[in-house]
Structure 1
Amino acid sequence: MHAMQYEITLPADYDMGIIRERVATRGHLLDTFPGLGLKAYLIREREAGSPVNQYAPFYLWATPAGMNSFLWGPGFQGIVNDFGRPVVQHWTGLSYEEGPAAASAPGTATRRRTPLGEAVPPGAAVAEAVDRHAREARRDGVVASALAVDPRHWELLTFTLWAADGPLGDGEAPAGEGERFRVLHLSTPGREALGAGLRRW
């Protein structure tokens, strides 16, 4: 499993309805994309309290071939044509978990970055993070959650999808979960191939 995200930050006065229309008319194109576990079409909006207007899709790839096919194919080229070429962040997957609300549609997503301190051996830090992730994924309102690592910057990434009818009753994630995004659409052609509960090494 590989996690991937790019962020397209837009002007403060940008009409985010343009992004909503883009997702409404094109989001289904990846609903059957080979090698894709899931793609969450995410936005942040200043009018909703975000510091920026942003389109920030997040991907979990079941296969490297699927990720490469997307990046070097017409899908990503459409982003480049419309917005320029963004930096593509990517992380090595450590674990993926389905939550108690796995059957629900997600309303929000959270992204939490955690530095891996130098004082703890990497293997021990990762093993502890995987155990903690399994527990966190069992909380009410969790649709699915992934844990990944960037060994270049020694940073853990936790990405969680929360049910639209989640624990706060308004589709919002609980406080303290990191950066929040609104989910406009979720493509899940290979969600089962992500291997819920499997350790990645």
Structure 2
Amino acid sequence: MHAMQYRITLPADYDMRIIRNRVATRGQLLDDFPGLGLKAYGIRERGVDGSPVNQYAPFYLWATPEAMNGFLWSAGFRGVVEDFGRPTVEHWLGLAFEPGPAVGEPPRTAVRRSEPLPPGADPATAVERAVAGVRELARSPRVHSAALAVDPRNWELLHFTLLRDPAPGDPVGPGGVPEVGDRFQVLHLSAPALSDLSVGRHW
């Protein structure tokens, strides 16, 4: 599994209805893209859920690297470049994926949380702890799915959770602690190869 996201920050007075219309008219184009585990069409709106910015930020989980490559060099991504300029594409190695009780329902919220590993931390121990946390988080009834990935260049863990429209501050994190991080509204979910994402740890 490979995780990927690009975050396109828009002007403070940008009309986010433009992005909503974009997703409404084009989102279904990836509903049958081979090798795409899922794509969550996420947005942040300035002043909503504490967001300081307007942002279009799709998040992807790829079942194969070939599928990710196929998208990045396709007409679909070329359209993003033509409309917004070439974005920085963040990507991570997948560590774990867990479907939750709400996996059969459309997710309405996504939470992204980065966790830098301290210089003296043992990465293997930190990863095992994080994998266990993903497994526990995925038991929450509001969770569609939860993923864990790593950037080994910067030694940073990425937690990404899709949720069934929780109210702000709902206790959806491990141990009943609210899941914290950047919150995105999910306008559409394409998940043609969701079943191809290996469940549990990825090694």
TM over 0.5: yes
Is 2:178 the partner of 1:180? no
TM, length-normalised to structure 1 = 0.93
Structure 1 position 140 matched with structure 2 position 141 = yes
Task: Report the alpha carbon displacement of residue 173 of structure 1 after superposing the two structures with TM.
Answer: 8.0
Q: Secondary structure at the match of 1:120?
A: coil
Match of 2:195 in 1: 192
Cα distance in 1, alignment partners of residues 20 and 131 from structure 2: 34
Q: Give runs of ≥4 in structure 1 deviating > 3 Å.
A: 170-176
Match of 1:46, as an amino acid?
A: R
- Report the aligned-residue RMSD: 1.6
Structure 1 residue aligned with 2:65: 64
Percent identical pairs in the alignment equals 62
Deviation at 1:122, TM superposition (A): 1.3
From the superposition, tell whether residues 142 and 176 of structure 1 become closer, same or farther in structure 2 (CA, over 3 Å): closer
Structure 1 residue 172, shift from structure 2 partner:
7.2
- Match in the other structure for 1:103: 104
Aligned length: 197
Residue type of the alignment partner of 1:140: P
Aligned to 1:7: 7
1:172 and 1:94, CA in 2 relative to 1: closer, same or farther beyond 3 A?
A: same
Cα pair distance change 1:171/1:143, threshold 3 Å: farther
SS at match of 1:20: helix
Structure 1 residues 77-134: Cα deviation after superposition (integer angstroms, max 9, x where no partner): 0000000000000000000000121111111000010011222221121112111211
Question: Aligned equivalents of 2:171 and 2:78: distance in 1?
Answer: 32
8 Å Cα contact 2:27/2:188 also seen in 1: yes
The answer to whether the Cα contact below 8 Å between 1:146 and 1:159 also exists between their aligned partners in 2 is yes
CA distance in 2, matches of 1:103, 1:28: 18
- The 1-side partners of 2:170 and 2:37 are apart by 24
Shift of 1:47: 3.9
Q: What is the match of residue 149 of structure 1?
A: 150
Query: What does residue 113 of structure 1 align with?
Result: 114
